[in-house]
Structure 1
Amino acid sequence: MSAAASPSELRLVVLGLTGAGQRSAVCTILGLQDPQQGPDAADIQECSKHRGEAAGRQVVVVSSPAWFGSDCDPEERRRHISSFIALSSPGPHAFLLCVPLNQPAEGEAKALDVLKELFGPSAVSRNTIILFTHTEELDEDEPLEEYLVTWRKDLRELVERCGDRYHTLEARSGEPEESKAVEELLEKVEQAVADSGARHFSCPLYQEAKERVRQRQVEIVRQRRGKELNGQLTDSPPEENVTEEEMEAVREEAERSIDDLNVDVDSIFPFSASVSPSSPAPPFLWGLWEKLTGWMRWVSTLVRREALLGALVGLFVGGPFGGMMGATVGSVATEVKRRNTQKTK
């Protein structure tokens, strides 16, 4: 049995917008202490494939640039999609979508839409796990689940679309270490595979990639054997006298040569670069979000999220009236939370 078909090997595809923490996730899963040993220190620019052992399992992790954004060139998008599909063929056991807690989830929602269009609904509902990153957004004693339920309807909707599967690899005070978090993630992947009833995810695009990779493996082996004459292969069947060991030896070379799968990017990505539901928020909104969350963390020992709610109300209403309304909303929210806390004690 080939390594690619071994049930002891888990294939994971890590996706995410620029800055979502893909590189860190790859390094954590593979147990790399120095991020420089993993994918490039900068944001991921090309599809990469990494092998290693994690929690007693052989793991293959494929990472990919953010090809689902509207600012990606169509040909680059086709190349990235073809590449990560080929590198994770015959099919991944899970897609891991990195989602930062400190940003709105509009782009990630579009990413799930695109995965559904590319691979079908089951790719999202059965084979995708939300991997939360940048968990410094949480207060020290605040559980992730509580944060999602209380504050982030947008993130809860992402989780619900993925069959309520989510995880984080970022260890916090009082929580399991990263190695334990990785083990728990792989257990969730295995459970998702068991629930799906298939050995791994598959669809027409992955079937095409599997066949293309195998054909390319044969070509490479036979070229190395000197069996090709004037661009024509011999008349014998393609797999004749080609061993599985030879095929596996050239597998990754064959995978990396596939960059032109039959992906209809025009119908899946009909939006323009200027206007798109998947476009990141305008820079001033991102800056506002970062300033507000940064301010919230800075004063977290004195003023918690209730005051941030009031600040947002005051900001968007504006003027003296907005300031008074914001202060009132913040005070009411603080009192409500205080009373709810007392009731649970």
Structure 2
Amino acid sequence: MSAPSLSEIRLVVLGRSGAGKSATVRTILGLQQDSAALRHDECSKHTGQAAGRQVTIVSSSDWFGSGCIPEDRRRQLSSLLALSSPGPHVFLLCVPLNQPADGEAKAVDVLEKLLGPAVVQNNTMVMFTNTEELDQEEGLEDYLLTWRKDLTELVRRCGDRYHTLETQPGRAEPEEVVQELLDKVDEVVKESGAEHFSCQLYQDTEEQIQTRQREIIRQRQADGVDSEDLEGVRREAESSIGDLDLDINALFPCSDMPVSPARSFLRGLWEMLTGWVWKLPKLVRGEALLGALVGLFVGGPVGGAVGATVGSVATEVGRRKTQKTK
């Protein structure tokens, strides 16, 4: 039996800069390419219709990035909580398929510390982006299980929930993948047994917003200004909430520490490597990646020679297997 449909859906879109948050918002709400322009350093709120239902999306800034200072983190997280209060139905974590997931794993850790472990396990879904490089014969699930154990672990932490809004020729239309997403949101709410995600921090935030709403209405009435625009009052109250009392040092214990040069170097190598491998046909992609990784981690001229040999041999074996099946 399918879950009953929510009349209104609230979503929070998380992700690093360039992770596809803007495209996710546009696709869900059916907006044009030049609509929903999102600033990566600020949270923003968007409301529209999707599959005949009211959908509100809060797009978060990159508050878990290494370049974000503690004061900005506190301000951005406070804005995220205020704009998504009294609590979203689902957090959508945008994850580029062709990049390492260390930043996203950090975001999940912070979410658990900030809102409690239930938010990740029960109300977070991985939204894969940059999937256009997958061959039509190569399914997303097969790719994850075969090559990306880091992403598989991230999905596991998020209750085994994931989705993608990106389509390829011959596959689902944008309207269909959006409908599938909303159906999954309905299932999340049904399984959680609550109207939406909530915790003490969200409850305190909502109390502040409602108090501020009453103050705004009283002030408008005293000034003889129309106070019937409740949506406008709500927006003004949300935007007027200052920095919440968040222990940023506890959430980001290493926030003041520089990024490890070795870690940064390996990440750069990974991005360069995967960027090259994605351009290869599926037939040789895996073998090339295998050879390159051998060369990377063995190191030196010997590692390079061994990696090249492993890659070329594996590629030739794959080609011969394919020829035999023709």
Whether TM-score is above 0.5 comes out as yes
| Paired residues of 1:307 and 1:331 also in contact (CA < 8 A) | yes
SS in 2 for 1:312: helix
Distance 2:282 2:250 in 1: 50
Give the 5 Å matches for 1:120-199: 120-199=116-195
Residue of structure 1 in register with 2:274 after alignment: 293
Residues 74-113 of structure 1 aligned to structure 2 (within 5 Å):
74-113=70-109
**Which runs of structure 1 show a deviation greater than 4 angstroms over 4 or more consecutive aligned residues?**
331-342
Q: Is the 8 A contact 1:218 1:247 kept in 2?
A: no
Q: Distance in 2 between matches of 1:280 and 1:261?
A: 35
Amino acid at match of 2:271: E
Deviation for aligned residue 1:315 = 3.4
In the TM superposition, what is the alpha-carbon distance from 1:143 to its structure 2 partner?
A: 0.5
What is the DSSP-based 3-state SS (H/G/I as helix, E as strand, rest coil) of the residue aligned with 2:222?
coil
- The answer as to 2:26 corresponding to 1:27 is yes
RMSD of aligned residue pairs (Cα, Å): 2.9
Aligned pair in 2 of structure 1 residues 212, 12: CA closer, same or farther (>3 Å)?
same
Deviations 1:83-141, CA, capped at 9 Å, x for gaps: 11111111100000000011100110010000000000110000000000111342342
In the TM superposition, residue 69 of structure 1 has moved relative to its aligned partner by 2.6
Gaps of 5+ in 1: 1-5, 229-241
Partner Cα distance (1:47, 1:323) in 2: 45
SS at 1:298 equivalent: coil
CA change 1:81–1:162 in 2 (3 A) is same
Question: Hey, what does 1:308 align to over in structure 2?
Answer: 289
The change in CA–CA distance for 1:165 and 1:275 in structure 2 (over 3 A counts) is same
Q: Give the Cα separation in 1 of the matches to 2:17 and 2:263.
A: 13
User: Which residue in 2 is equivalent to 1:218?
Assistant: 214
TM-score (norm 1): 0.84
Worse overlay, 93-102 or 67-76 = 67-76
What SS does the corresponding residue of 1:131 show, helix, strand or coil? strand
Q: Per-residue deviation at 1:337?
A: 6.3
Q: What SS does structure 2 have at the residue aligned with 1:225?
A: helix
How far is 1:7 from its partner?
Answer: 4.6
Moved more, 123-132 or 61-70: 61-70
Aligned residues: 321
Seen in structure 2, the aligned counterparts of structure 1 residues 11 and 105 have a Cα distance that, compared at 3 Å, is same
Distance (whole Å) between structure 1 residues aligned to residue 238 and residue 26 of structure 2 = 22
Determine the structure 2 residue equivalent to 1:272.
255
Identical columns (%): 62
Give the structure-2-normalised TM-score. 0.89
Q: For residue 117 of structure 2, what is the amino acid of its counterpart?
A: P
Q: Residues 261 and 336 from structure 1, CA distance in 2 versus in 1: closer, same or farther, beyond 3 angstroms?
A: farther
Write the letter of the residue equivalent to 2:36: G
1:195 deviates by 0.3
Q: Which runs of 5+ in 2 are unaligned?
A: none
Of 325, 328, 332, which residue of structure 1 is paired with 2:306?
325
Give yes or no for contact 1:221–1:246 (8 Å, CA) kept in 2: no
